[in-house]
Structure 1
């Protein structure tokens, strides 16, 4: 169905190809998962299938890519639209209409399908993706995750033979992600659709893949194989694989179910270690899990013996809401929210798409005004405080990093951030290099991948080191290594007394980083407590290690590995 023949892509002024030596075939009716660290060219490779590379992006494509016999060098994206459906990392750039139902119908209209066929397929897709209640809603009023589902639905309605998806679950809550992946699996198994997708949250998708295509480094030759074979050698892997590596399981499990079947002796060993082992491992409960080496793990008990005490939230209040309600049009997005965040505390906001997480962050930063109730940030009312004054107390990294990026180069963006924050020249640039090495000064922010663009936006906000830091889906587009670097940096800020509130669907991030988890549902707080207590009692928001080792309260691979290392 898809054939790559010695394919390489080199962008203008680039010193080396972004991808090179791609020579393989993707059979009809298979789901192939594309994995690799950030910046290795996954989005570029996907773009060659849809024709966006090089017709839209520019650059030089060498070799040949054919889809259903059509050469993408000679067929532009619109000439492939009936056979290839594409959803990129940024759903907003995908939309051409104003409402959900119109967007689902637009692709079929362009292909000239009959009205009765269009109507039937719209209804089927609304049901498949749980969008029926949103059919008349303006797309601009939807949450990021809801927009992601609409973008996926809009390419499903024309019934393409090939689906190309870039981070399809990145903005979805765990339940919605499972629904989307179940739909993709049904399309593959029942209709013979060929699916090629890139995803960093491998814990969600690796079990659905027929094959995994690994891009190990920029310009390196790819490796194609079964999920188990590739996960055994991949530099990026989900926690379930990390736990399997730590425990020495062969073959490596890819699902929670398989791991639970193998984990009996490990659970028994950890149970016999009792409270002493858990307390020792708990000291590393907020350190990065998957992807770390055993050499570093051997240092964790000593390294973090005092760190837990350092990270205990201090007295005082960084933010407080009292009886907060926010109405957006006809929707009450928040209702009677009482919340207090203390200096040094990291709080994870979780909940379904549309639960009110982004609304709460925007209210804390003064973008939205409360309908009723009160909000105070360092003693100030955000929506009544001037931006120049407020920026000294609170910073927000939104879901769409482009909202913060206005310069023509990374270097100019960083210089502007240093100036606005009153920081020493080079502060922002050093943060970018720390969080995601390899981003060139002269590149335009729009030419960065979603994860790289997010990293730049994070660095811009972190340059000012605000006492209260708000992050909306901060790991979207980040691989495990980049996420680990981000976690370490945020831990350092919390140690220094900064309060951090992050809205996230990344349950692994919450397990690694958060002191406390607050779950929102329909704009109300339905759970609020220590991370272990909240996520262990919630199947939807429990990390993989917790599911595997329940009823014991282990959250991360790092905790387990530290406990095992202490036994040696």
Structure 2
């Protein structure tokens, strides 16, 4: 169905090709997973299937890409739209209409599908993706995860033969991600749809893939094979595979179920019996940096937050978790002054955020939003760093040093729009950290980050917490919460439903438990690093 024949893509002004030597085939009715470190060209490969590369992005494409027999060099994206449905990393760039139902119908209208068929398919898609309650909502009022589901739904309604998805679960809560992946499974197995997707959260998707294609980067040719074959050599792998490597299991497990059986059969559980995972040092009785009392926020007809209480102390890392639309981003917005409380109070460092001048507030609290481009306005990475130093009153080179730590190898002359989604997020984080605010807020900070980049981020945030900074992050990444958070606060329908130490909350939650916890339950292990330290 999709054929790459010795494909390389070089963008104008680039020192070398974004990808080269890409040569593989995706048969009809298979789900193929594209993996690799950030910046190795996964989005370029995906966009070449829909014809966006090179017709929209520019650059030079060598070799040949064919989809259902159509050569993408001679067929523009509009001439492939009846065959290929594409969702990129940024759902906002995907939308054309204002409401959910109109967006689901738009692609079918463009293809001239009969109104009666359109109505039926819209209803089916609303049910498939759990969007029925949102059908009349304005897209601008949706959470990031809800927008992601709408974007996926809008390409499902025309029933394309090929689906191309870039980070389809990155902004979804665990339950919503399972729903989307279950839909993709049904399309592949029942309807013969061909799916090519790139995803950094491999713990969610690797077990569903028929085959995996690894883009190693540095000019190396892609590696193709079964999930177990590729994961054995991949520099990026989910915790279940990392635990398998640590324990010396062969073949490597791809699912929690297989790993649980292997942990029992190989004696790993016995070796860990009686040992207690090393706990993160609890924060001392530090003065609270942020206090939220009985906070209520109403957005249109929706109570986004109701009676929320939260205290965050210096040196503490708190993970806000919960399903899409639970109010996590709204709470962060209230802490940074972007959202005015309808009731209750919010104080940060003694100040009321929404009544504090931005130039004063930036020295108290910093927010890295879900959409990093909201913070980036310069033409180059170097100019962005210089502006951040000036705005924060920091020594020259401060921001550049943070960028080098988070994004090794990115040149000063690179335009932010030429970075991958994860790289842009790391740049935005460096810009915010330049002012070294006592309270740091992050909204989905690992979206688009591979495991190595996530490990670097964890190292930076742990260092900040050790220096006395308070960190609040809204995340669906259960592995990040397990690695980093002292506390987890669960939100549902705008209310706090649980607040406690990370292991207390996630061990008892089927949805928010990390893979290692599920494998070694009922013991309270959270990460592979804890297991490695215990075995050592």
TM-score range, shorter chain: over 0.9
Per-residue Cα deviation, 1:101-131 (whole angstroms, up to 9, x for no partner): 0000000000000000100100000000000
1:219-298 correspondence runs (5 A): 219-264=219-264, 265-271=267-273, 274=274, 277-278=275-276, 281-283=277-279
Tell whether the 8 Å contact from 1:314 to 1:497 is kept in structure 2 after alignment.
no
CA distance in structure 2 between the aligned counterparts of 1:10 and 1:329, rounded to whole angstroms = 47
1:58-97 correspondence runs (5 A): 58-97=58-97
Match of 2:448? 477
Tell whether the 8 Å contact from 1:314 to 1:344 is kept in structure 2 after alignment.
no
CA distance in structure 1 between the aligned counterparts of 2:464 and 2:15, rounded to whole angstroms = 36
1:253 Cα shift? 0.5
Match of 1:98? 98
1:313 Cα shift? 4.3
- In the alignment, is residue 426 of structure 1 matched against residue 426 of structure 2? no
Instruction: Point out 4+ residue stretches in structure 1 off by more than 2 angstroms.
Output: 311-314
Comparing 243-252 and 356-365, the one that deviates more: 243-252
Q: CA RMSD in A?
A: 0.8
Tell whether the 8 Å contact from 1:39 to 1:218 is kept in structure 2 after alignment.
no
CA distance in structure 1 between the aligned counterparts of 2:410 and 2:77, rounded to whole angstroms = 29
Tell whether the 8 Å contact from 1:401 to 1:454 is kept in structure 2 after alignment.
yes
Comparing 246-255 and 498-507, the one that deviates more: 246-255
CA distance in structure 2 between the aligned counterparts of 1:393 and 1:527, rounded to whole angstroms = 27
Match of 1:318? 289
Comparing 440-449 and 141-150, the one that deviates more: 440-449
Match of 1:11? 11
1:268 Cα shift? 2.0
Match of 2:301? 330
Match of 1:299? none
Match of 1:369 among 317, 337, 340: 340
1:314 Cα shift? 4.6
State the secondary structure of the residue aligned to 1:415: helix
Number of residue-to-residue matches in the alignment: 534
1:219 Cα shift? 2.6
Match of 1:339 among 284, 297, 310: 310
Match of 2:57? 57
Match of 1:134? 134
State the secondary structure of the residue aligned to 1:282: coil
After TM superposition, the score normalised by the length of structure 2 is: 0.99
CA distance in structure 1 between the aligned counterparts of 2:29 and 2:321, rounded to whole angstroms = 35
CA distance in structure 2 between the aligned counterparts of 1:451 and 1:93, rounded to whole angstroms = 16
State the secondary structure of the residue aligned to 2:288: coil
1:13-32 correspondence runs (5 A): 13-32=13-32
Match of 1:291? none
1:312 Cα shift? 2.7
1:563 Cα shift? 0.4
Match of 2:483? 512
1:141 Cα shift? 0.2
Q: Could you list the runs of 5+ residues in structure 2 that have no partner in the other structure?
A: none
State the secondary structure of the residue aligned to 1:39: coil
Change (3 A) 1:24 1:416: same
Match of 2:326 among 355, 380, 392: 355
Tell whether the 8 Å contact from 1:415 to 1:428 is kept in structure 2 after alignment.
yes
CA distance in structure 2 between the aligned counterparts of 1:218 and 1:121, rounded to whole angstroms = 44
CA distance in structure 1 between the aligned counterparts of 2:100 and 2:183, rounded to whole angstroms = 19
CA distance in structure 1 between the aligned counterparts of 2:246 and 2:239, rounded to whole angstroms = 10
Match of 2:187? 187
